[in-house]
Amino acid sequence: MLKLPFVLLFTAMTFISWGVYGILLHEGQAHMGNSSLRSFVGVGIAYFLIAVLGAGSILGSSNEKGHWSVFGSLLSLLAGSVGALGALGVILALSFGGDPVYVMPLVFGGAPVINTLVTTWLSKTFDQIKPLFVIGMIFVGVGMIGVLMFKPRKEAVDKPVAVATEDPKTDAKASTDSDEKATAVSAESTTVTAPAKTKPFSLLGITASIIGAVVCWGSYGPFLHLGQMRMGGSRMRPFLCVGLAYFIIAVALPLLILAAQTDGGAYTFKGLAWSIAAGAAGAIGALGIILAFNYGGKPVFVMPLIFGFAPVINTLVSMGLAGKLSQISPIFAGSLGLVIGGAVMVLINAPKPKHGPAKAAPKPDPAPPVVDPKDTKPTTAPAEQPTPPLT
């Protein structure tokens, strides 16, 4: 039964959570020396806590429908793997100098296109593609180019750092005077400004990382849906498998890599807390979709709402926190609108599987006539005997 208020509530929970995901992740990286692997570990920890421990406790305390199956578990693990690799793509895009204000809208705009294409390929419904579907894909592509070209520019010089210049007179006086006087004199020395250390910027690295995230996150939904079908429609079992995949790829492997080599970063409480919060936002968003479907929501309007509003939330929050809402150019806003509108058009006009009318079950053959042994005549006339051939 459709319960619209709950559907809208959980849909909003998803697009708000996913809208702040990149912002939280970017903050976590900044507090750990721009370390991509360390922030990745925080995301994996969050998924393990929510999708493994949380889903496991629900399965242990309730009789959820569905069952375990080997193939369903493998498909769900595959879904979790591409989901984790997609998160890594976002992290790398931010590490290469990308800003959440345009990284996340590009990912949210491209992922639905890949999702629809993968679903269409699996269901063999390419012949059902409509012109509006193609137009939507064109909108997404043109909008992505515009977002990258007209993204808000960062300030060329960050906050200045005071650097004291050497003054021979001051040094001579400081050598003869007491420590107190030397400190007072050195404070009067001339100062110059030097730019603070900035994060490296690589457009090629950002673009490649975004493409990787789009392909991986676009494949996540179809694989998870197949795994869910193979496990009798279970919700928590596939979610648990996703959490296990995140733990292996986003926690175990990065810890092994960091143990073998250093990446120049360092764990900090703030950095790990922000990264875990980002992972929690991603997991809560995935759970919101599940709950919206449980209350009768249909993908045809739930997913367009999510992928339509999440980029808007991301852009407004990101630029608002930076105090740069006035720097959003009309061309950037229009390009962002093309990405969002194109993604919504793709989702709404996605090819639908063919469901022909169900064939009626064949009628059973009529039962043979029943003859009462007490009667001398059968209940039906005897079959006509064939005419003997002429001799």
The per-residue pLDDT for range 329-340, each reduced to its tens digit, is: 888 889 888 888
- Residue 194 pLDDT level (bands cut at 50, 70, 90): very low
C-alpha to C-alpha distance for 272 and 209, rounded to whole angstroms? 22
Of residues 295, 313, 308, 292, the one with CA closest to residue 348: 308
Q: What pLDDT score does 247 carry? A: 94
Q: What pLDDT score does 366 carry? A: 52
What are the structure tokens assigned to 257, written together? 């890599």
Q: How many angstroms separate the Cα of 180 from the Cα of each of 168, 174, 176, 187, 191?
A: 18, 9, 11, 11, 20
DSSP run (H or E) holding 227: helix 203-230
Look at residue 356 and tell me whether its pLDDT is greater than 50: no
Q: What is the overall mean pLDDT for the chain?
A: 79
The answer to whether 216 and 80 are in contact (CB under 8 A) is: no
Least confident among 169-173, 250-254, 271-275:
169-173
For the chain, what percent of residues have pLDDT higher than 70?
A: 77
Least confident among 138-142, 192-196, 286-290:
192-196
Mean pLDDT of 104-127: 85
- Residue 125 pLDDT level (bands cut at 50, 70, 90): confident
Burial class (CB in 10 A: 0-12, 13-18, 19+), 339: buried
C-alpha to C-alpha distance for 59 and 184, rounded to whole angstroms? 69
Look at residue 42 and tell me whether its pLDDT is greater than 90: yes
Look at residue 161 and tell me whether its pLDDT is greater than 50: no
- Residue 176 pLDDT level (bands cut at 50, 70, 90): very low
Burial class (CB in 10 A: 0-12, 13-18, 19+), 128: middle
DSSP string, 55-116: HHHHHHHS--S----HHHHHHHHHHHHHHHHHHHHHHHHHHTT--HHHHHHHHHHHHHHHHH
- Residue 199 pLDDT level (bands cut at 50, 70, 90): low
Q: Which of residues 364 and 243 earns the better pLDDT score? A: 243
The answer to whether 346 and 108 are in contact (CB under 8 A) is: no
Look at residue 74 and tell me whether its pLDDT is greater than 90: yes
Q: What is the number of other CB atoms lying within 10 angstroms of the CB of residue 9? A: 14
Q: What pLDDT score does 376 carry? A: 52
Residues near 298 by Cβ (< 8 Å), separated by ≥ 6? none
Q: What pLDDT score does 276 carry? A: 96
- Residue 186 pLDDT level (bands cut at 50, 70, 90): very low
Look at residue 213 and tell me whether its pLDDT is greater than 90: yes
- Residue 31 pLDDT level (bands cut at 50, 70, 90): very high
Q: What pLDDT score does 216 carry? A: 93
Look at residue 310 and tell me whether its pLDDT is greater than 90: no
pTM of the model: 0.73
Q: Which of residues 247 and 198 earns the better pLDDT score? A: 247
Mean pLDDT of 151-180: 50
Q: What pLDDT score does 116 carry? A: 84
Look at residue 46 and tell me whether its pLDDT is greater than 80: yes
- Residue 196 pLDDT level (bands cut at 50, 70, 90): very low
Least confident among 164-178, 283-297, 323-337:
164-178
Look at residue 165 and tell me whether its pLDDT is greater than 50: no
C-alpha to C-alpha distance for 83 and 227, rounded to whole angstroms? 14
